[in-house]
Amino acid sequence: MVEFFINDQPVQAEDNQTVMQAARANGYFIPYFCWHPQLSVPGNCRICMVEVTNEGQAAGSGWLDIACNMPITKGMRVLTDSEKVRSRRKETLQFITLNHPVDCGICDKAGECTLQDYHYEYNGSPSISREPKVHASKHYKLSERIVLDNERCIMCTRCVRFTREISKSDALGVLNRGDHSLIRPVEDGRFEHDAYSDNVIDICPVGALLSTQFLHKARVWYLQPTASVCPGCERGCTVNIWHRKSEWKLKALDARQNARIDRVTPLENPAVNGPWICNKGRDLAQILGRARADQAMLKGRPVDLPTALASARALIGAARRPVALVSNWGSNEELAAYQQALGGRFTSFVKTDWQPAPGEPVEDGLLIKADKNPNTAAARALFPPLPADAGSAFPADTDLVLVWGEGYSFAQLPPRAKIIYLNSWLQPENGHADVFLPISVMTERRGHYTNFEGTVSAFEPCFASAPGVAHAQDLFAALATRAMAVST
Ligand code: SF4
Ligand code: SF4
Ligand code: FES
């Protein structure tokens, strides 16, 4: 450890740390644009200037240097917020905004933009330039997912370094020099295929890189993030699901906007995904926003939930050889509830709810895993996997199958067996089941998933379930009451 001084206070730093790293580790704030804790250090934006003084030297008589690339030395004295530092930051911001359009009113980044924040903290003045701003391309399409506003770009090169150092696609670069510099994709289209491309939207410190899905859809202050887990593969990345705040509920326009996923962003978790997620995680609305089933049925005939439950209980009570296919999208709590309530009554196997979709990246060395289900590890800790050969799973006298979740064709079930089906989505199989019970999805309840490395992550509810939809955990308890009574 090395002792040095920040704002005249002694602090400890690791050997080889920079002033930026040591200051952050000790709770001191230094602004930055181009620096990112997971990327190399280009030192190009100069906003992180600090003043370095000798012992006994007054503030204002030291020298200025960038904190992000300055190694700590023993006894060093750093001032992070002196008059000299604030004056240089103001000059730096005046330079950076010479050609920036300052169109915050229509910019998706407004409310989350560090340039906006630093401008109010350190500058606050209109542009000092008498020259007209240099205009550049607006809405330049980098890929189907991302558009670039070159006028807003401050050339921090974070996006370029991300594709070189993290996603390894080498898909972005800087074209031309000086105030003609432009971020451009490599012309072979590889940015389109970068499975992590949307992370550049998050790390762009300004509103230059924008999601086409989210563009002009909502101001961020109308939205709230709810901590959740991506169910897209067994990595189980920690994410924030953004949805409309209840106080900003729309009353006149399409009310479905009040209960939809507006965007998904990473929630930094060093134990699982660091600060990144893949593009599939961004697209959770496509998985969780599918048409929902909210009507219990008996062979396709709509009934209320208590009637459907009574029929399911009767089937369970009468069955001689019941088999269950357990969902690997069920939460730890639901799996435990199933095991406690029905695990002793059914021969249970874990099925695979989701297979890789055509064209989907199957696995890589960064985050994406081949198993496209969130809770296989926890499910298989309780029950064996479903054998590939259906004959081994279903003995000839199987007379009842409980299917929990999607992904298993009814055509593979024993033809004479009765079927109890628990599912969340509007699918043709629902009407073919003897008893169909609509269940909630993860954005409507609280729970935990265990990823392939054994890390347990929590998810929280974002929306209320529709009337007629039940939580699987409650259904298992309700089904057990009578089933046990019948079997004793
Ligand atoms: S587009 Fe954003 S991340 Fe990329 S260089 Fe410009 S400001 Fe930086
Ligand atoms: S790596 Fe897997 S868990 Fe993480 S965001 Fe992508 S699909 Fe979701
Ligand atoms: S953050 Fe240090 S130069 Fe950009």
Which of 109, 158, 160, 165 has most ligand 1 atoms within 8 Å of its beta carbon, as the pocket-test mutant?
A: 158
- Give the pLDDT of residue 487: 34
* CA-wise closest residue to 351 among 383, 381, 303: 383
State how far the Cα of 71 lies from the Cα of 76, in Å rounded to an integer.
10
Cα(196) to centroid of ligand 3, in Å? 24
CA-34 nearest atom, ligand 1: 8
Residue ranges in 204-329 assigned as alpha helix (H): 279-282, 284-288, 305-318
Cα(231) to centroid of ligand 2, in Å? 7
Q: Which ranges of the chain have pLDDT less than 70?
A: 481-488
Distances (CA, A) of 464 to 243, 246, 467, 468: 12, 12, 9, 12
Q: Is the CB of 478 under 6 A from ligand 1?
A: no
State how far the Cα of 323 lies from the Cα of 339, in Å rounded to an integer.
13
Classify burial at 176, counting beta carbons within 10 Å of its beta carbon; exposed 0-12, middle 13-18, buried 19 or more.
exposed
Tokens of 49: 């200037």
Instruction: Check if the beta carbon of residue 277 is closer than 8 Å to that of residue 229.
Output: no
CA-35 nearest atom, ligand 3: 1
- Give the pLDDT of residue 483: 47
- The protein residue whose alpha carbon is closest to atom 2 in ligand 2 is 233
| Residue where the block lists tokens 């439950």 | 309
Question: pTM for the full model?
Answer: 0.94
Instruction: Check if the beta carbon of residue 408 is closer than 8 Å to that of residue 325.
Output: yes
Return the DSSP state at 258: G
* CA-wise closest residue to 281 among 208, 199, 226, 357: 199
Instruction: Check if the beta carbon of residue 31 is closer than 8 Å to that of residue 81.
Output: no
Instruction: Check if the beta carbon of residue 235 is closer than 8 Å to that of residue 272.
Output: yes
Q: What is the pLDDT of residues 393-431, one digit of tens each?
A: 999 999 999 999 999 999 999 999 999 999 999 999 999
State how far the Cα of 101 lies from the Cα of 237, in Å rounded to an integer.
36
Q: Is the CB of 209 under 6 A from ligand 1?
A: yes
- The pairing of strands 182-185 and 172-175 is antiparallel
**DSSP secondary structure of 319-357:** -SSEEEEE-TTS-HHHHHHHHHHHTTTSEEEE-----PP
- Give the pLDDT of residue 250: 87
Q: At 298, is the secondary structure helix, strand, or coil? A: strand
Q: What is the CA radius of gyration of the chain?
A: 28
- Give the pLDDT of residue 140: 97
- Residue 298 CA, distance from chain mean position: 37
H/E stretch holding 174 = strand 172-175
Which of 30, 45, 49, 154 has most ligand 3 atoms within 8 Å of its beta carbon, as the pocket-test mutant?
A: 45
Cα(148) to centroid of ligand 1, in Å? 9
* CA-wise closest residue to 386 among 416, 368, 411, 407: 407
Q: Is the CB of 172 under 6 A from ligand 1?
A: no
- Give the pLDDT of residue 484: 42
Tokens of 189: 């289209």
- Give the pLDDT of residue 488: 29
Cα(34) to centroid of ligand 3, in Å? 5
